[in-house]
A = this chain, B = another copy of it.
Amino acid sequence: MTSEDDGGFPTDYEIAKDAEKEPIKDVLEPWGIDNDDIELYGDYKAKLSHDGVNRLRDNAENKEGNLVLVTGMTPTPMGEGKTVTTVGLGQTLNHVGEDAMIAIREPSLGPVFGVKGGAAGGGYSQVLPMEDINLHFTGDLHALTSAHNLIAAMLDAKISQDDEFDVDINDVAWPRAMDMNERALRDIVVGLGGKSGGTPRESRFLLTAASELMAVLCLAEDLADLKERIARIIVAYDSDGEPITVDDVDATGPAAMLLKDAIKPNLVQTIEGTPAFVHGGPFANIAHGTNSLIADKTAFGMGDYLVTEAGFGSDLGAEKFMNIVCRLGDMTPNAVVLVSTVRALKYHGMGMWPADLEEVKEAGVDELEAGFANLDKHVRNLQKFGVPVVVALNRFPDDTDEEVQAVLDHCREDLGVRIAESNVFAEGSEGGVDLAENVVEAVDEGDADEFDHLYPDDAPIKEKIETVATEVYGADGVNFTGGAEDDIERLNDLGFDDAPVCLSKTFHSLSDDPSKKGAPEGWELEVRELYPSAGAGFIVALTGDVLDMPGLPAVPAAAGMDIDEDGNISGLF
């Protein structure tokens, strides 16, 4: 995403700035949303009121909506363009005459300032106003941060101020949260400074997107359900090992109150004027990694298609979407789009860790073909859910025709899976027609009754984990180490045996070793800790080292960002 000054393609912000936006109320009006249904945040952002949500959900009851999930192969540092493809596909479906809505996650400030940059799509397939969406947007992340930290503060106030309160301070399960990449807050000691500073103990901050509250917001049916879920979140254990919940520290009401607007879905427009929900943004490792169910279900009242995306590779976001979100939210995907790129295939073929991006660029068809193993595994995994798969080859300027043809041939001939080139980044909906047509055909050919989760609710916890590990990750088996066996016992005692399992694993590899590219074989998954996300309604299983608070490099993306005296931004991409 070079700048025009470099003689290259304009940056996302340059494209966004030149784009003509319509007032969001005008964008929404043809989709059956009146002024009374929305709360404006400036001219181009809106929240949908509770009444609006309810009316559209009632609409959705009377029609068949088609759910298209966009996911990707194992991510590389170069970016594959999953959000670009999601936005581009949604635009193109409208371009070819369908009524399609888009629902994506809200960006998190941490990654925006870290390495990744913005998360609002890019090129001619982005949502606008990108600078607002990437910064504070409508304040949802801030509301979640506040609610999370209010619970933490009320818990610590009980610990230090209430002599009757029985808590094991070495078994506190509720960290603090911040929407900022803050390495120095990963492990801290709080409560120092004598009596006035409270009770000394270890604590930590996680990124707000990794807070259970974010998962709860994205799975809640409505405000009443949100409150019930918040109430049952476990924040600590007492001296007998019994759970202490948010409700036990009297924080349910005020935390839900802080989220009263955050639960209302946000609507913006794409660069081509398609309305798009941008709502919720949970991590795809310790949470489920897809936007809010409220946005999804409302979207079905607006269009015949809903295009949504899941975080990281299909082993993380898509697996969780199928096994957790669709289970808890009673949804059925009608097609999955798997985003791949020539350069990601080369990267996996070369097994690079850390990556030398120049070398990847110079590599040829041999390295590319060596990378098919990763793509193939993701395709086969997704097919196990009984959902039609379409591979989207997101084309970049450096890709040669020979390389592109090799991928097309492999998918069609070796895998027998649909594949389409996608140029939605550079061309918008003009560049996505083949992809959109393939998706429509796949949906039409598919049979929703064939969709199934990989494991039943009542499978034992270990079996659920083993299913994902062997069927999805390609492990030979699972080792339960550390306190994992004890954790499983506690989970069974607490009645969580029927909950789906959210596996937290590195996103850099299909395996639990980030350095292993392609489709690693001959390894066993190590599960070292499990805990309940009682509000979200799933069990989290930790494998390897899990990072829920990223750090900034010495020269982060933020260092290149600026604003001039007229409010023009630079360096945000």
Contacts and interface: CB of A to CB of B under 8 A. Distances in A.
A28 interface: no
Taking residues whose C-beta sits less than 8 angstroms from the other chain, chain A's interface range is 35 or more
A550 B83 CA distance: 42
Contacts of A565: 222-224, 227
A4 interface: no
A117 B165 CA distance: 24
A552 interface: yes
A398 interface: no
A558 B179 contact: no
Contacts of A165: 554
A413 interface: no
Contacts of A355: none
Interface string A127-145: 0000000011001001101
A153 B150 CA distance: 22
A196 B183 contact: yes
A153 B182 contact: yes
A39 B129 CA distance: 14
A560 B197 CA distance: 24
B257 A552 contact: no
Interface stretch (A99-107, A184-192, A382-390, A520-528): A184-192
Interface stretch (A155-163, A233-241, A470-478, A493-501): A155-163
Given A192-B188, A227-B565, A254-B113, A146 B198 contact: no
A405 B11 CA distance: 71
B135 A258 contact: yes
Nearest to A110: B153
B197 A183 contact: yes
12 contacts: A136-B142, A136-B143, A136-B261, A149-B182, A161-B554, A184-B199, A188-B188, A188-B191, A222-B565, A251-B558, A254-B559, A256-B563
Given A186-B192, A223-B563, 14 more contacts: A39-B43, A41-B42, A113-B150, A150-B558, A153-B552, A156-B182, A157-B553, A158-B554, A184-B199, A250-B559, A253-B562, A253-B570, A257-B563, A260-B569
